[in-house]
Amino acid sequence: MKIGIVCYPTFGGSGILASELGISLAKEHEVHLISYACPPRLRIDNHRISYHKVDVPPYPLFEYSPYTLALTSKIIDVMEHHRLDIIHVHYAIPHAASAYLAKKALHGKVKIVTTLHGTDVYLLGLNPSYKPIVEFSMENSDSLTAVSEFLKKETLEKFNITRPIAVIPNFVNSEKYKRIGRGKEKIICHISNFRPLKRTADIVRIFGMIVKEIDSRLYLVGEGPTKCTAQRLVEKLGLKKKVCFRGNVSDVSKILGKSDLFLLPSEQESFGLAALEAMSSEVPVVASKVGGLPEVIRHGKDGYLAKVGDLETMAEYCLKILTNDGLAEKMGKQARMRVLEKFTTEKVVP
């Protein structure tokens, strides 16, 4: 089968998931990935994977780059030249609309699969500027999937669609994400795109409570709009020697494999792929009890869940794990077993 995949080439969940899906599908199918840049985790040394770049010419006619139109044209081009059977779009804005336009332009029989990842539903998708076309694109997809039961429910509640939604969870390569080893100093890790929803300032404040009780270090991995705020807070609290900002890292498995705890106090998470990668690496997770996270993390078994903004409780949970090696090891092993039972590539990708 010939499959096209459209995604954002980012370090966020949807870009990572699309890349891993493409790599897995390429074992048996021909895969064509379409985006404006090559996703950082995509390996194109496989002859069954092709990358097609979307070029957006900078014409003064347009105040903003017309990416949706350029993407539509590129999808048409790939559909025509490679006779695609399926076009799988990750993130509804604007990928689903572009795929629909391309299909109509060619009067084709290609099937459109749209996977919803989160902010395309409960944040950007609800913006009045986007909602009508997002709703239309969902309804006119041949198949619609969401990464969690939470996201499915949110979509059906907030959008007027009749299209059934199948829940297909995110997954990880369990052979890649493994425990490497632990040092004497406790390592707390957070990986994200540093958007306001991730509450990175909360992470710094929680760590400030932890480091008073136990020798530890915080790794903050990623880039985004709240990074500067987090850096200023680190300096204000006198934590500069204990906090390491790593920036974007293409392979986070080595960092997670040496971590003792993963911290995710987000305001909202449709699934929590980074938490899943940590769990596969036998790293217990302390996270907010929001969105799809309770579908992944079992409170008291794989880690702990707390109310958004309850920093004291989160710090207590972190210390409970970091000061008890037996509990940490038990939770880590249970977390990896959870992944092996439900969230590996082999379990999710047919």
Q: Where are the domains of the chain?
A: 2-167, 186-345
Over residues 217-237, mean pLDDT:
95
**CATH code for the part of the protein at 2-167:** 3.40.50.2000
Q: Output the pLDDT for position 219.
A: 98
Looking at the predicted structure, is the pLDDT value of residue 41 above 90? Answer: no
| 95-106 vs 67-82: helix crossing angle, rounded to 10 | 50
- What are the distances in angstroms from CA 74 to CA 66, 98, 291? 13, 9, 34
pLDDT tens figures, 203-222 = 999 999 999 999 999 999 99
Stretch 293-317: mean pLDDT: 98
Is there a common fold for 2-167 and 186-345? yes
pLDDT of residue 49: 86
pLDDT at 130: 85
Complete DSSP assignment for 9-58? -SSSHHHHHHHHHHHHHTTTSEEEEEESS--TT----STTEEEEE-----
Beta bridge partners of 216: 186
> In CATH, what class is 186-345?
alpha beta
pLDDT above 90 covers what percent of the chain? 71
What is the arithmetic mean of pLDDT over 187-201? 95
pLDDT value of residue 91:
87
